[in-house]
Amino acid sequence: MKITRQKHAKKNVNFYKHNFRFREPYQVLLDGTFCQAALKNKIQIKEQLPKYLMGEVQLCTTGCVIKELESLGKELYGAKLIAQRFQVRSCAHFQSAVSGSACLLSMVADDNSHHYFIATQDQELSSAVKKFAGIPLMFIIQNTIVLDKPSPKSLAHVKALQSSQLFPEHQKHNIANLKSEQGIVRVTEHRGRKRKRVAGPNPLSCLKKKKKNPTTTPAPEQTKKKRKRKRNKPLVKPTPETA
């Protein structure tokens, strides 16, 4: 189970590395719900996440997430302690805090230029994140951390990119040029071969002449003419005589 789980994780991480330029240390933005789930399931995020993602990880959160956890009181005190150990990334809400989910969404909604992973148990935040391409989503299910498979939005984005990268306009021209160049090269090669083949019959005709020559006398043209005349005469003469 662990091996297949890690294989899936590696495959998914590679997807973001190759297609969205994710690099180590992986920036994982965690919210209060994820911290609470980790606490309940006795998951040591700091130890488990790097192992699962097979790379260096930078755990981070925002001031809004911590403020929200503080506002929720004793029940989420443990989660707040966990979140406080993470690096606090500056958000746009320094004047008036927003909900943790709204804050994390705002951190990634603008093309996710910081290459954040989002770690949350909040379904609304998850579905909102999936509407964007290139945002890896993590959650805890059955006592384990899971990196969600790339969303259809991410897959579609990559497909569109690949198709445009495979045949951009200037490459189309290059390919066309290459083909025509190769075609020309092939045509000239064929022509050369054909010419050589055409040139071939001449020596053959020479050989025929040579065969004829040795049987007859050395003077070629005169003997040929004579022979033809001789052949014609006897062939023509006997037929009328016999008839």
* Binding of residue 101 to Zn ion (CB under 5 A): no
Return the number of the residue (62 or 126) whose C-beta is nearest Zn ion.
62
Q: Is 91 in the site for Zn ion (CB under 5 A)?
A: yes
Which of the ranges 99-107, 138-146, 164-172, 173-181 carries the binding residues for Zn ion, by CB under 5 A?
Answer: 99-107
CB closer to Zn ion out of 101 and 151 = 101
Q: Which of 57, 103, 125, 145 binds Zn ion (CB under 5 A)?
A: 103
Question: Which residues inside 45-84 make contact with Zn ion, applying CB under 5 A?
Answer: 62, 64
CB of 53 to Zn ion, least distance (A): 25
The size of the interface with Zn ion (CB under 5 A), counted in residues, is 5
| DSSP states along the chain | -HHHHHHHHHHHHHHHHHHH---SSEEEEE-HHHHHHHHHTT--HHHHHHHHHTS-EEEEEEHHHHHHHHHT-GGGHHHHHHHHTSEEE--S-SSS---HHHHHHHHHTTTTTT-EEEE---HHHHHHHTTSSS--EEEEETTEEEEPPPPHHHHHHHHHHHHHHHS-HHHHHHHHHHHHHHHHHHHHHHHHHHHHHHHTHHHHHHHHHHHHHHHS-S-HHHHHHHHHHHHHHHHHTHHHHH-
Q: Out of 93, 130, 149, 153, which residue is the one contacting Zn ion (CB under 5 A)? A: 93
Taking CB under 5 A as the binding criterion, the range among 7-15, 21-29, 89-97, 192-200 that sits at the site for Zn ion is 89-97
Binding site for Zn ion (CB under 5 A): 62, 64, 91, 93, 103
